[in-house]
Amino acid sequence: MKSLSRLLAITKKEVRQLRRDRLTFGMIVGIPVLQILLFGYAINTDVRNLKTAVADQAETHLSRQFIAELGESQVMDIVARVDTAGELEDLLRAGKISVGVLVPPDFERRVIDPGRAAAQLLVDGSDPTISGIANQLRIMPVAFDTNLQQERVNNIEVRPYYNPERRTPVNVIPGLTAIILTLTMTMFTAVAIVRERERGNLELLINTPVSSAELMVGKVIPYIVIGIIQIALILVVGDLLFQVPVRGSVVDLYLAATVFIAANLSLGLVISTAAKTQFQAMQMTIFLILPSILLSGFVFPFDGMPLIARYLGELLPATHFVRLARGIMLRDAALLDLYPELVVLGVFTVVAMTVAALRFTKRLD
């Protein structure tokens, strides 16, 4: 009985401690709910609404009907119309579309010629999932005039760009770079202020003339160098073991990575000012990793996710660096072509650093 009484006493003590620890209590409720929502909404192998541009050089009734049927398939979301194949390739390179539809001037003649493809799909093959969806559209029939009462299948030629062999590592390694940096950089600074408090160093900082902003920036700078070293290691291993190319400018890649690293470090500092212990800081970091994996476009095509999942994904730094890394490494895109993603990361960094500096007060709790 005494043993049972002691056991119950310890149990009550632990329950009271959990009730006082609001962050841990929130994790108990938040993590399972978040996982259900993320896995339920983001994991979608039935891809829809891929951003598509069309170059209809035929401009006939049959070509317009063909394009309308592509849009009605719900696989494609036609967001732009251009004139040439070169313009489609530019949009693909900049990451503004996932699929380009090229309808040649002699479209109707090609439809009745079994030896020639009637139209072409220019596909961002850096994502094998998108290539697979595009290949399924090859059997889509194109109807002749109603007077002829016949149709032909296998009209469409699929031209995968950037990863014609459909090798999974080519798609995974650039995205994995974002996830690795998100985990390491956020966790490094998430425990920074908390560690100073637990070790008693915060009391020393209180007696110095260092401002909150100077402390935040000083905490970030060393880890930026560490992040750059991690990027170099990832690129070397990716090239030697998996033959993942870097088709674009390495300088552009490092510039984009530096801004992304700063964004994650700033986010880690915000966590650091909210957490009371290093364990809490690590809990909060892990809490952010799952959305970064599922909602960033790393695993599933971003355009195929529900609208609310895409809105949430746009708030994550990993989403924008996945686009930057794949664009520069696989599509040979220039940083200027991808500048909106860089601007978002820059704004995120400034806002997060400001919040961290405002939340930090040079006093002991």
Residues 269 and 326 occupy one common structural domain: yes
Regarding whether 193 and 81 lie in a shared domain, the answer is: no
Flag whether 364 is in a domain: no
**How would residue 282 be classed by pLDDT, with cut points 50, 70 and 90?**
confident
Residues 218, 323 within the same domain: yes
The percentage of residues in the chain with a pLDDT greater than 90, rounded to a whole number, is 31
Per-residue confidence (pLDDT) for residue 340, from 0 to 100: 93
Q: Is 171 inside a domain boundary?
A: yes
pLDDT of 232? 93
Between these two residues, 259 and 188, which has the higher pLDDT value? 259
Q: Distance between CA 111 and CA 92 in Å, rounded? A: 26
Instruction: Indicate if 328 and 205 belong to the same structural domain.
Output: yes
Of 161, 178, 212, the domain-final residue: 161
193-252 pLDDT per residue, tens: 787 777 766 666 666 676 766 777 777 888 888 999 999 999 999 999 998 889 999 999
Give the per-residue pLDDT at 276.
79
One-letter amino acid of 227: G
* Closest to 126 measured CA to CA, from 182, 171, 69: 171
Rounded to the nearest integer, the mean pLDDT of the chain is 82
Judge whether 174 lies within some domain: yes
Overall average pLDDT of the 145-166 stretch: 68
Last residue of a domain, one of 135, 161, 187: 161
365: pLDDT strictly greater than 50: no
pLDDT band at 357 (very low <50, low <70, confident <90, very high): confident
Number of domains in the chain: 2
pLDDT tier for residue 42 given thresholds of 50, 70 and 90: low
Query: Is residue 241 in some structural domain?
Result: yes
**Which is more confident, 75 or 122?**
122
Is residue 95's pLDDT more than 70?
Answer: yes
Domain stop point among 126, 161, 196? 161
Question: pLDDT, tens digit, for every residue of 293-325?
Answer: 888 888 888 887 878 888 888 999 999 999 999
Same domain as 318, residue 186: yes
Give the predicted TM-score (pTM) of the model. Answer: 0.83
Q: If you write DSSP's letter for every residue of 31-100 in order, what string do you get?
A: HHHHHHHHHHHH--SS---EEEEEEESS-SHHHHHHHHHHHHTSSEEEEEE-SSHHHHHHHHHTTS-SEE
Same domain, 204 and 291: yes
pLDDT tier at 102, thresholds 50, 70, 90: very high
Strands 151-152 and 142-143: antiparallel
Please tell me whether residues 181 and 246 are part of one structural domain: yes
> In CATH, what number is assigned to the domain containing residue 156?
3.40.50
**Across residues 129-150, what is the average pLDDT?**
66
Does 365 map to a domain? Answer: no
Coil, helix or strand at residue 237: helix
Question: Are both 157 and 303 inside the same structural domain?
Answer: no
Rounded Cα distance, 320 and 364, in Å:
37
Judge whether 134 lies within some domain.
Answer: yes
What are the structure tokens assigned to 179, written together?
């996830």
Mean pLDDT of 173-185: 92
CB count in 10 Å sphere of residue 260: 30
Question: How is residue 362 written in tokens?
Answer: 């040079």
Beta-carbon contacts of residue 357 (< 8 Å; ≥ 6 apart):
212, 213, 215, 216
Q: How many CB atoms lie within 10 A of CB 347?
A: 11
Q: Is 70 exceeded by the pLDDT of residue 2? A: no
147, 180: one domain: no
Report whether pLDDT(263) > 70. yes
Shared domain check, 112 and 226: no
DSSP E strand stretches across the chain: 50-56, 76-81, 99-103, 119-124, 142-143, 151-152, 156-161
Residue 34 burial (CB count, 10 A) = 16
Residue of 224 and 9 predicted with greater confidence = 224
Residue 6: predicted pLDDT: 62
Q: Are residues 230 and 271 in the same domain?
A: yes
Return the top range by mean pLDDT from 162-166, 217-221, 252-256.
Answer: 252-256
What's phi and psi for 90, nearest 5 deg? -65, -40
Task: Give a yes or no: residue 28 inside a domain.
Answer: no
Written as one letter, the residue type at 328 is I
State yes or no: pLDDT of 11 exceeds 70.
Answer: yes
What burial class does residue 71 get, using C-beta atoms within 10 Å of its C-beta: 0-12 exposed, 13-18 middle, 19+ buried?
Answer: middle
Residue numbers of the domain that contains 325: 167-359
Note whether 195 and 152 are same-domain residues: no
Mean pLDDT of 331-347: 93
Cα distances (Å, whole numbers) of residue 223 to 61, 302, 357: 59, 29, 17
The DSSP H or E segment spanning 208 is none
More confident residue, 263 or 275: 263
Find tokens 């394009």 and name the residue.
67
Q: Which residue has the higher pLDDT, 9 or 255?
A: 255
Has residue 35 been placed in a domain? no
DSSP state for residue 157 in the 8-state scheme: E
